[in-house]
Structure formats: C-alpha cells, structure tokens
Amino acid sequence: MNSLRMPAWLGPQGARALAAPIIIIMMLAMMVLPLPAFLLDMFFSFNIALAIIVLLTSLYTVKPLDFMVFPTVLLVSTMLRLSLNVASTRVVLAEGHTGPDAAGKVIEAFGHFLIGGNYTVGIVVFIILTIINFTVVTKGAGRIAEVGARFALDAMPGKQMAIDADLNAGLIGEQEARRRRTEVSQEAEFYGAMDGASKYVRGDAIAGIVITVVNIVGGLLVGILQHDMPVADALKNYTLLAIGDGLVAQIPSLIISVAAGVVVSRVASEQDIGEQLTGQLFAKPQVLYITAGIIGGMGLIPGMPHIAFLLLAGALGGVAYAVSKRERKAVAEPEAPAVPAAALESEEATWQDIVPVDTLGLEVGYRLIPLVDKAQGGELLRRIKGIRKKFAQEVGFLSPPVHIRDNLELKPTGYRITLKGVEVGSGEAQTGQFLAINPGMVSGMLPGPATTDPAFGLPAVWVDAATRDHAQAMGYTVVDAGTVIATHLNHLITTHAAELLGRQEVQQLIEHLTKESPKLIEDLVPKTISLSTLQKVLQNLLLEGVHIRDMRTIVETLAESAGQTQDPNELTAMVRVALGRAIVQQIFPSGSDLSVMTLDNKLERLLMQALQASGPDGAGIEPGLADTIAAQAELAVRQQEQMGLAPVLLVPGPLRILLSRFLRRTLPQLKVLSHAELPDSRTIRVTSLVGGQI
C-alpha cells in the first residue's frame, strides 16, 4: 500500500504550493510564445475576475493584516497585465488587418460595446481612465501607504512597551504577547510592502499609455506598408484594437488600485467597509432629514429634473424615519410592573435580607457595562481572570473573586473598586477611546482632555482611535478603557494583598500544601502554632511586599522557631531571614551588587536607645527626631530613584521592624532589609547615608 501512496507534491497542499510557480511560468510563456485569440480571451477574462475578487476581498477585510498577501497580489496582477499586453500586441500587429476581432472577442467587445466603435471616444475614455488611475487613485494610495509605513515604524517602540505593560500586569499571557509582537512587526512590513508595490501600479499606468501609443503607430505602419490598407481603414482597425486592448488592461488595473486604496486608507475596526458605511453614514436621522429637505427644495426649482430629485428626497426621508424609529425603540425601556402597596406591607424582614459584604468589588457606570457584560463580549471579564491567575502564580495564594455590578449613582464613565465594602480606588474610563500615558519620555503634547492614570498617577490624555498610532510614535503608552480598569484593579489587589489573605484563604492554602507535602504541615497547625498566628505571619510578609510562594520554607522555619516564641512579629523576622535570598532576588532581579542606603552611626545608636526604651512600636522616638528621619529618608529615596536604583535601606536586625513601620506610610516604595537577610553571595554597595546631618 505504501508504494501506491500519492506524492506530497500531488496532494492539495502541494497543488497550492505549485500555484505561484505556475503563474510565473504562464506569464513568461505569454511574453515569449504566440497565443491564439481564444486563449487571449480566457486570460483577459481571468484578469478581470481576479481584479473583482481582489476588490471584494478588500471590502470585506476587517484589518489590513487579514489580507497580508495583498502586496504580492498587486505585483503579480501587474505583471499579468503587462504579459497580456505583450501577447495581445503581437496578435494585434500580426493579425489586425483581418478585422476588429483579430485579437479575440474580449478586445473587440471593449472596442465596440464600451466605446461604440468610435476610436476618438475610445481614446478620450482611455486617457481619462489612465489619468484617474495614475494621478488620483494610485498616487493617493501610495502616499497613504508611505505615511502608514512611516507611522507604523515610529510607533513600534510604543506598541512594544504597551504589550510588555499588559504582559507584566497579567492582562495577557506569553503566547498572546508573542502574537501581538508578531502582528506589530507584520503591520510595519505590510505598509512598507504596500508603499513599494504601489510603485508597480503607477508604472503599469504609464506602461499602458506607452503600449497603446506604440500599438496605434505600429499598427498604422504595418497596415499601410505591409498590407497596403487605406489610411482610414488602417487607422480605424488598429486604433480600435489598441484602445480595446488598453481598456481591457486599464479597467482591471483601476479596480485593483481602488482595492489598494481601500486597504491602506481604512481605520482599524471590528467591522468591514460595508458595515462601517451603513452604520456611520446613515446613522444620524437629523443629517438624512436635512439632506432630504435640501434635495426636495432643489427638485421644486423650475428647470430641475423634478421626478429624480423628489424621489430621492422621499427615499432619504423614509430612511431617516426608519433610523429614528429604531433609535427610539432601542432607548425606550420597559417600565417595571407596579407592586401593590398591600404586597409591600405584607413582606416581613428575614435573614435573607442580610447581604454579605463582598471582599473585592468592582462597580461601574452604565456606559462601562459593555466591558463587563458577558453577553456583549465583555473583554474586562477575561482580563480579571488573568489578573487573579497571575496574582496566584506570583504572590502565592488565590485572591477572592471580584464581584462586578453596575451602580447608577456613579458617573456614566466612572468606576470604583471596593475592599470589604469600602472604596479603595476609583476613576473614569472612556469607552471607545484610549488613554495615552506619559511615562516621562514623550516627544510632544497631545490634544485632548488631560487626566491622570488612576493606577500610578502619571499624567495622561484621552485620545481617539485615529490618534492612537501617532501617540505611540511620540512615546506614549496607549491602552484602552478595559486595560485602564484592569491595571488599576491589579495594582490595588497587589497593594492590599495582606488584607485579602483571610482565615479562609489561609485554610485553603494549608489544605493545598497538605495534598503535596502532608508530613510538612500535619504537626504545625494547630499543634505548634495556631491558625491565627500563621495568618498574622503571612500577612506581615505580604504587608511589606514579600511573596509567600515558598510555603515550604515558611512552614519549616515556623516549625523550628515556634518552640522559642509565639510572637508573630518575631516569627516573621525569622521567616524573613530564611527567605532572604528570595526577598533580595525580588528587589534586585539581576546583578551581584546590592546598591543600598544605610543609617549614620550616630542615628543608629540613637534609634537603638529609643528601641530599648519604647519597644518595637517606636512610640518613644522623639517627634523632632522622627520628622528629621522621615525628611532625610525621603531625600535619600529620591536620590536613589534618580540614579535608577531600587530604594532599599539596610539596617541592623532589631531596628528593621521599627523603621519599616515608621516609614511605610510616607514612603511605601522603600524596602527595609536587615543585615541577616542578605545572602553571602551578594556584594553590598552603599550609595547614601540617612541621618548624616543629625
């Protein structure tokens, strides 16, 4: 049976692979070999059909990259027309003296039917079509492709930054990020290829004029000198054949040029050209009513074609009425059925009336409902799932689900994020627009309403889709409304991770760990330490941004240290020492040098005395000294950030908890580490001292 298997190149895949070589060989054959009139008719018909297919495909294409092969199609179709011109020229000059059908029925039909057999009319029509194709359609499409290629290349860094931001925020996965990066590079290559391919079309228009002139002149010389035809007969025969040949080539060329203009001039949308035209051009009944009134008024002017104008005005008025009726029907909301007063009085309060408070909640205004409505393809729902998954993978526990509901008390474009029923963040998101965030390195300002990024407080501007690529080219990070909300939610979940780790989450974490390592946990909770103590230790770690993914190390350290103390703060300090390598890796992901800030010796002695007098809460620190420490720490953190370094303060172990609690409110970005937490393999480099002026 294996000996009878069909070769791979004879299968469907192999046939598709052979299509391009066959077309090239066919074009070369048309240029070299003489073709009979019947084959010319077939090839000219195929050329016209190909042009129509390309035009319709471009009209039903949603994104330019959906028709990525278009530059190649443009080149191949141009070479096909030139090959047909060469083949038809050979037949016209060799057989033109026999009559107008010498080069086939297609050229004869274009010479007689389209221009009525009048070669003067044919010349004028041919020149007009060539001018339209060369100076209007092709030149405009080439210019748009050139500008599009330039903007696509300029916008590549900004788009890459936006992709990296979505990836880091957990909004997309690695596979989706790779797909988007490929799409960005393909878009730039597409517009560059279209810019080059448009030059072929312009050259084709010039070649069409030259070939037609050569055919007329050459036909007259052949007819008069070789076949002894009268000048009038030779002029009529060869001119009609040349003009018919030129029109047969120029009309498909014009169609493909229009298709090129459609592909490169459209704005990215989820609709094809037909849906955009009907959905936007005839979307406003006021415009249609006014147009109908103007056309109807013109129809009443004496001397005007009354029937044509009045019929068109009536049609526009009918369309406007239908559109306005559909809008009223969509806006109208069914009234809620009236509830009898007796029914309200008969209802008694029950325990079902007590609604539990959602741990995490997202409330949106009515204009943002499409973002969270599954029936309307709400993109934000998928992104929230990605946020929770990324949070669980990085931090080490599964956050509570986000309960989403609409809130009519908010602004239509407003939203707010709640934690245990209390608002922890709010903002606005403009659906259909994009937030251009200024990361601090932009090359100019953008028009539009100025605002701030709700997650990080960076200056930003709301822009429309047409300005998106321009903003990215200027260095802005451009995100849509759903990404704005998702990024804000992700930031708040990470910031309040300690509050999200409740008793239930800790119990689920223990159960998950028990399935993987039952011996590790069975003697710890509740025999050695209580569940509440374990929860407090984990919350202390999360409060300072330490991930709890390495539960094995945490549990082993607690099992060894619980016999010495049950104080959660002391247990936390011991766990931090065990997690020192992971903590340092989280702050300094690369390099062996640790650039840190330290305390001045004098300040260190003062704080050690205050610690002995007041305890770990630092209540005994003199207020003036506390203000000075806070001010100098803020100055040192600012200098550290200006140097592009992570703000880290290295202190002795007993002072770590004191300074971490004291500086946490004013400098949340500052990380306070103890000497015992640093691994021996890292080199410490002191960049500044805190307290040198005390």
- Domain match, 561 and 615 both: no
Tell me how far apart the terminal alpha carbons of the chain are, to the nearest angstrom: 93
pLDDT band at 580, cuts 50/70/90? very high
List phi, psi (to 5°) of 562: -65, -25
Q: Which of 590, 608, 580, 606 has its CA nearest to residue 677? A: 580
Give the mean pLDDT of 441-470.
Answer: 89
Note the Cα 509 to chain centre separation in Å: 36
Domain boundaries, position 647: 590-694
- Domain match, 449 and 518 both: no
Domain boundary among 477, 498, 519: 498
- Domain match, 389 and 488 both: yes
Instruction: Write the burial class of residue 239 (CB in 10 Å: 0-12 exposed, 13-18 middle, 19+ buried).
Output: buried
Give yes or no for residue 333 having a pLDDT over 60.
Answer: no
Domain-embedded: residue 171: no
User: Which residues have a Cβ under 8 Å from the Cβ of 418 and sit 6 or more positions away?
Assistant: 358, 360, 361, 362, 363, 424
List phi, psi (to 5°) of 685: -125, 115
- Domain match, 471 and 511 both: no
- Domain match, 102 and 227 both: yes
Number of separate domains in the chain:
5
Domain-embedded: residue 47: yes
Give yes or no for residue 336 having a pLDDT over 50.
Answer: no
Note the Cα 150 to chain centre separation in Å: 19
pLDDT band at 13, cuts 50/70/90? low
CA distances to 96, 116, 459, 463, 479 from 449, rounded to whole Å, are 69, 60, 11, 8, 15
Domain-embedded: residue 168: no
- Domain match, 402 and 480 both: yes
CATH number, domain containing residue 571: 1.10.8.540
93 half-sphere exposure, CB direction, 13 A CA radius = 18
CB 540 within 8 A of CB 497: no
Say what the pLDDT of residue 170 is: 64
- Domain match, 429 and 491 both: yes
- Domain match, 474 and 505 both: no
Domain-embedded: residue 176: no
Considering the chain, what percentage of its residues have pLDDT values greater than 90? 23
- Domain match, 482 and 630 both: no
Instruction: Write the burial class of residue 424 (CB in 10 Å: 0-12 exposed, 13-18 middle, 19+ buried).
Output: middle
pLDDT tens digit string along 347-363? 677 777 777 888 999 99
- When computed from its CA atoms, the radius of gyration of the chain, rounded to whole angstroms, is 38
CATH number, domain containing residue 377: 3.40.30.60
CATH number, domain containing residue 654: 3.40.50.12790
Which two three-digit tokens encode residue 213? 């002139």
Domain-embedded: residue 346: no
Give yes or no for residue 271 having a pLDDT over 70.
Answer: no
Pairwise pLDDT comparison (394 vs 266), residue with the higher score: 394
Say what the pLDDT of residue 619 is: 54
pLDDT tens digit string along 113-171? 656 656 677 777 777 777 777 777 767 766 766 666 676 666 677 777 777 777 766 66
- Domain match, 606 and 655 both: yes
Give yes or no for residue 342 having a pLDDT over 60.
Answer: no
Domain-embedded: residue 341: no
Domain boundary among 245, 270, 295: 270
pLDDT band at 14, cuts 50/70/90? low
Domain-embedded: residue 343: no
- Domain match, 287 and 258 both: no
Say what the pLDDT of residue 2 is: 46
Q: Which of 85, 78, 79, 133 has its CA nearest to residue 257? A: 133
- Domain match, 297 and 375 both: no
What average pLDDT does the chain have?
80
Alpha carbons 460 and 449: distance in angstroms, whole number: 9
Domain-embedded: residue 254: yes
Domain boundary among 226, 243, 270: 270
Alpha carbons 477 and 484: distance in angstroms, whole number: 11
If you count them, how many residues does the chain have? 694
CA distances to 368, 651, 653, 689 from 604, rounded to whole Å, are 53, 8, 12, 11
Which two three-digit tokens encode residue 249? 């080539």
Say what the pLDDT of residue 151 is: 67
